[in-house]
Amino acid sequence: MVAYFATEPESLLADALNGFCRVHADLVVRDAGGGYLRARHPSPGRRVGLVSGGGSGHEPLHIGFVGAGMLDAACPGRVFTSPHNRQILEASRAVAGPEGVLHIVKNYTGDRINFGIAAERLAHLGIPCARVLVDDDLATATDGPGPGRRGTAATVLVEKVLGAAADRGADLPELLRLGERVTARCRSLAVASRSHALPATGDPAFELARNEVEFGVGIHGERAERAIPREPLTRLLERMTDPLLAALAPAREEPVILLVNGLGAVTELELYAIHDAVERLLHKRGVTSARCAVGEFVTTLDMRGFSLTLMVTDRETLELYDAPVHTPVWRW
């Protein structure tokens, strides 16, 4: 349908990373080998370095969240392809603190394997390493064995909270415990009304009928189990919010952080209108949303869709979320 504005599909990522590092030269530096981006002014006093990464095509994740208060380094793989374990190893060696390095990994087989190999090589070098696995996508929840839930938009919340905890001097076991606690308390669901276009050909990754919505789509364009007929927005949002609340079961005194995340081509008007409707739904369900972020954080190239993420918080998580951050995307 639409070809990409790119010199060559193969050079799209390299050119984009060049541009990104030039525009944000005050905040990020690319290593000489090109395998990772690191914070120019990392948080002082961290005992543990924070590294994330994954396939590209989800920008601003992860590169937009490198900087003081969040990630020390991000390793971009090719579009929708896990980074090589060497990238992760080099990034980890570069930013490891005196007590080691924490990997924040979205739950996909390729990422698990490559971060895993890097972790083994780090162990060999005597650098302590632990992993927090983000697996928030409720659309892929199953009772039986299998790969488990995919990691999607909650990743930015996890990176923010762990970044603040690392700033406060948390050690590796503390970060791991906190990471397991917060990832267990966030879930996401995504829908789309038009797939992304494939960078190589411009063809849509999949076809949807005009009056259908893909319910539970993945951030690489993984098809959902079902497409549902389009229905009024509030009904669609109930269909998303209620299962999230059922899975998380926040207590009365536990406010949530709400993330309304555009997947690429949804307008800002829609995202804020969606936010407004979800806030009303949460209120109706007796749930307090203590913080909210609306925008594009974890995208699927130019997909026309959005995701909702809820993270159940306590006082500590909220304090960590509120702590100062200075990255290309989030600054407060």
- Please state the closest distance from residue 82 (CB atom) to a copy of itself, in A: 17
Which is nearer to a copy of itself, 219 or 293 (by Cβ)?
Answer: 293
Which of 46, 112, 194, 220 forms a contact with a copy of itself (CB under 8 A)? Answer: 194
Cα dihedral across residues 255, 61, 57, 266: positive or negative: positive
62 binds a copy of itself (CB under 8 A): no
Which is nearer to a copy of itself, 180 or 231 (by Cβ)?
Answer: 231
Report whether 234 contacts 257 (CB < 8 A): no
* Interface positions, 288-327, toward a copy of itself (CB under 8 A): 292-294, 296, 299, 301-302, 304, 306
214 binds a copy of itself (CB under 8 A): no
Alpha helices in 53-108 (DSSP H): 85-95
Which is nearer to a copy of itself, 180 or 284 (by Cβ)?
Answer: 284
Task: Candidates 8-16, 178-186, 220-228, 314-322: pick the segment binding a copy of itself (CB under 8 A).
Answer: 8-16
Query: Maximum distance among all alpha carbons in the chain?
Result: 56
22 binds a copy of itself (CB under 8 A): yes
Task: Candidates 55-63, 103-111, 149-157, 158-166: pick the segment binding a copy of itself (CB under 8 A).
Answer: 55-63
Which of 60, 77, 97, 100 forms a contact with a copy of itself (CB under 8 A)? Answer: 60
| Of 40, 65, 70, 60, nearest in space to 321 by CA | 70
42 binds a copy of itself (CB under 8 A): no
* Interface positions, 228-287, toward a copy of itself (CB under 8 A): 230, 232-234, 236, 264-277, 279
180 binds a copy of itself (CB under 8 A): no
Task: Candidates 3-11, 38-46, 66-74, 91-99: pick the segment binding a copy of itself (CB under 8 A).
Answer: 3-11
# residues contacting a copy of itself (CB under 8 A): 59
Amino acid type, 202: G
Alpha helices in the chain (DSSP H): 12-23, 85-95, 109-124, 154-167, 172-184, 233-248, 268-284, 315-322
Catalytic residue list contains 58: yes
- Please state the closest distance from residue 135 (CB atom) to a copy of itself, in A: 25
The set of residues, in sequence order, having a beta carbon less than 8 Å from that of 53 and lying 6+ positions away, is 36, 62, 73, 74, 75, 76, 77, 83, 87, 88, 91, 111, 115
Separation CA 60–CA 63 (nearest Å): 6
> CA-CA-CA-CA torsion for 305, 311, 63, 116, nearest 10 degrees?
-110
User: Which position among 58, 62, 196, 275 bears the catalytic label?
Assistant: 58
Which of 210, 249, 251, 252 forms a contact with a copy of itself (CB under 8 A)? Answer: 210
Catalytic residue list contains 275: no
CA distances from 73 to 10, 36, 43, 120 (A): 23, 7, 12, 19
Which is nearer to a copy of itself, 118 or 190 (by Cβ)?
Answer: 190
- Please state the closest distance from residue 140 (CB atom) to a copy of itself, in A: 22
Which is nearer to a copy of itself, 61 or 133 (by Cβ)?
Answer: 61
What order of strands is seen across the sheet that includes strand 226-229? 226-229, 212-215, 186-194, 304-312, 256-262, 289-295
What order of strands is seen across the sheet that includes strand 129-134? 28-30, 37-39, 73-79, 49-56, 101-106, 129-134
Long-range interactions of 200-209: CB distance < 8 A, separation 24+: 200/9, 201/3, 202/1, 202/2, 202/3, 202/4, 203/1, 204/1
User: Which position among 24, 62, 220, 275 bears the catalytic label?
Assistant: 220
Which residues belong to the active site? 58, 220
Q: Which residues bind a copy of itself (CB under 8 A)?
A: 1-7, 11-13, 15-20, 22-23, 56-57, 59-60, 79, 193-194, 202, 210-211, 230, 232-234, 236, 264-277, 279, 292-294, 296, 299, 301-302, 304, 306, 331-332
